[in-house]
Chains A and B, each alone.
Chain A
């Protein structure tokens, strides 16, 4: 049975934890840039979820008699593309692709990368050397080049885009998580836990992982922005999402060929990418400052 002092102690710990979380949230939201980033992310999520209700037309409905209409003509808010598809509706639906690829590719990279980083940092020795040389090898490719080469092998499609960008994200996560594990591993309380006879599993998942997670969250947030740009880049090069699915990158690629007749096509799709990435970066910066301003991510 717990004694009174133990109960009081646990209450105090809970109070301290709640207070720390409150101060983190307050710090995050007091940062005007971070709040703006959060608003942009919120708009993106709402647009992606409620796309069928927000879009004014079906994103893939073609009508060649209405091709390349200017903004506002015949009920098309942002005009139409060369196939007569409504640009506004395609932008709205395009948010789904960006969000799905951004989040899934980063999750993919984070899960596999962190696992590698965790094993490498915790086990150390030869295992660490082998894993890190593999990571170095993968990091020797410029990010976009690795994604391009992988897409060539995998072929176009949503799942393949997620895999290609996800794999390209693995080395970064492995590097960040390993560094974090190495620094936490040497902390005194880990030594104490170990000397008290704690098993590896408990040390890893009860102590090392929770205490290494903060920089990982910041890194993951920033990586989502990078993944969204990568998807757009791949689609822009014709290697990403398969047509006719609306993706901001492929819309931009199409718009590039109609710069004189319909400059809005390329302009709005690029602006959608820019605002989304800016929002995520603003939020990521704020998150880093609120968690730990000295964090090197």
Chain B
């Protein structure tokens, strides 16, 4: 286990280096002079030249890359001109909002998806199974940005029950906070919910066909004990992997949901920064999201190994699909 841990952590170094290289070169390839684009059309040539100098854009590329790596190691992501504050502060402001949304969506997905999957497996080939299977297939095929828009149409425009955008402050009380959280969480939870139902259904069915389950049943054990104590326990391992992958996707991939609901998280920060060509913010936040993504996948791998020590994970490191 210790060897596995060290090996997996060491593997992070080249991965993160590649991430840093990709982000550096992509942001350097942005069309136009970054300083001129960021300062806007009314900026004078002197201002552009001075800002280029400040950003280090006049240095040779290898020097820029070296400075960038050194700054990254110090968690210095630079300063945003648009927001007039360090990118690290912006990230620390926005990231907790993304966590709130991701945790709430994941909780919703577990609370609905897992029991639905168990129910479908228990009642295989019945009407309930068909409903769960069909709904989960629709769920994984759902364009969530469309679902978001439809939720706004129904609950905000037509019924007027819930706010369509923004985030409520916890200082205004729990209800205003939750009212703002419901629609984006529901939209974001759809795909993981469907995914969980599918995974738990198929792994439960696989486990239920095993000999030891047949033996437990023939011993006269109650069906509830067979299902929840024996079958579910084994079906949880694949669920754990999918959960981890989905959580890292939720943390990094909530770009569309955050844009639709104007949720002030990392996704919206990146989209707005791209809109304003604020490449310092794009660079810093994309790299931050990638680090979080890689670290969560590492934690999932470790948990997977703890739950299932016999599994060889050598070929499964890295991010999800």
Give the interface of A toward B (CB within 8 A): 33, 132-145, 148-150, 152-153, 155, 172, 175, 179, 182, 225, 229, 232-233, 236-237, 239, 252, 255-256, 259-260, 263, 266-267, 269-270, 273-274, 277-278, 281-282, 285
- Contact (A225, B141) CB under 8 Å given A182-B315, A274-B146: yes
Q: Nearest-CB distance from A245 to chain B (Å)?
A: 19
Are B143's CB and A143's CB within 8 A? no
**B18 CB–A CB distance under 8 Å:** yes
CB closest chain-B residue, reference A169? B321
Are A140's CB and B286's CB within 8 A? no
Proximity bits, B290-317, A CB within 8 Å = 1, else 0? 1101100000000000000000000101
**B152 CB–A CB distance under 8 Å:** yes
Are A144's CB and B15's CB within 8 A? no
Instruction: Describe A's contact surface by its main secondary structure.
Output: helix
**How far apart are the CA atoms of A287 and B17 in the complex, in Å?**
38
- Contact (A148, B255) CB under 8 Å given A133-B18, A153-B29, A259-B152: yes
Proximity bits, B166-187, A CB within 8 Å = 1, else 0? 0000000000000000000000
Q: Nearest-CB distance from A295 to chain B (Å)?
A: 12
B: interface residue count bin: 35 or more
Q: Nearest-CB distance from A174 to chain B (Å)?
A: 11
Interfacial chain B residues near A138, Cβ < 8 Å: 18, 22
Proximity bits, B214-253, A CB within 8 Å = 1, else 0? 0000000000000000000000000000000000110011
Other-chain contact of B290, A134, A141, A259, A281 (Cβ < 8 Å) = A141
CB closest chain-A residue, reference B283? A149
**B30 CB–A CB distance under 8 Å:** yes
Are A237's CB and B256's CB within 8 A? yes
Are B274's CB and A152's CB within 8 A? yes
Interfacial chain B residues near A281, Cβ < 8 Å: 137, 140-141
Are A274's CB and B19's CB within 8 A? no
**How far apart are the CA atoms of A152 and B152 in the complex, in Å?**
28
26 contacts between A and B (CB under 8 A): A132-B318, A134-B18, A136-B14, A136-B294, A137-B18, A139-B321, A141-B19, A142-B289, A143-B321, A145-B253, A152-B30, A152-B282, A172-B321, A225-B141, A237-B259, A252-B145, A255-B149, A259-B149, A259-B153, A260-B157, A263-B153, A266-B153, A270-B143, A270-B149, A273-B143, A277-B142
CB closest chain-B residue, reference A275? B141
Are A145's CB and B255's CB within 8 A? yes
Are A139's CB and B319's CB within 8 A? yes
Instruction: Describe B's contact surface by its main secondary structure.
Output: helix
Q: Nearest-CB distance from A44 to chain B (Å)?
A: 14
Interfacial chain B residues near A263, Cβ < 8 Å: 153, 157
Are A137's CB and B22's CB within 8 A? yes
Interfacial chain A residues near B21, Cβ < 8 Å: 137
- Contact (A140, B146) CB under 8 Å given A281-B137, A281-B140: no
Q: Nearest-CB distance from B168 to chain A (Å)?
A: 22
Are B153's CB and A144's CB within 8 A? no
Proximity bits, B5-29, A CB within 8 Å = 1, else 0? 0000001001111110111001001
Are A155's CB and B14's CB within 8 A? no
CB closest chain-B residue, reference A239? B274
- Contact (A136, B149) CB under 8 Å given A229-B143, A281-B137, A282-B137: no
Are A144's CB and B256's CB within 8 A? yes
**How far apart are the CA atoms of A263 and B26 in the complex, in Å?**
38
Are B149's CB and A233's CB within 8 A? no
- Contact (A137, B15) CB under 8 Å given A145-B270, A274-B141: yes
Are B290's CB and A136's CB within 8 A? no
Q: Nearest-CB distance from B76 to chain A (Å)?
A: 20
Residue with the highest number of chain A CB atoms closer than 10 Å, among B16, B294, B319: B319
Q: Nearest-CB distance from B289 to chain A (Å)?
A: 6
Interfacial chain B residues near A175, Cβ < 8 Å: 318, 321
Closest 3 CB pairs of A and B: A137-B18, A270-B146, A139-B319
Given contacts A140-B290, A278-B141, 12 further A-B contacts (CB under 8 A): A33-B137, A135-B318, A137-B19, A137-B21, A140-B18, A140-B293, A141-B290, A142-B252, A149-B23, A259-B153, A269-B146, A270-B150
Interfacial chain B residues near A269, Cβ < 8 Å: 146
Interfacial chain A residues near B290, Cβ < 8 Å: 140-141
**How far apart are the CA atoms of A255 and B149 in the complex, in Å?**
9
**How far apart are the CA atoms of A135 and B141 in the complex, in Å?**
26
Are A136's CB and B249's CB within 8 A? no
**B81 CB–A CB distance under 8 Å:** no
Interfacial chain B residues near A255, Cβ < 8 Å: 149
Are B318's CB and A139's CB within 8 A? yes
- Contact (A266, B149) CB under 8 Å given A145-B253, A232-B143: yes
Q: Nearest-CB distance from B114 to chain A (Å)?
A: 21
**How far apart are the CA atoms of A172 and B319 in the complex, in Å?**
10
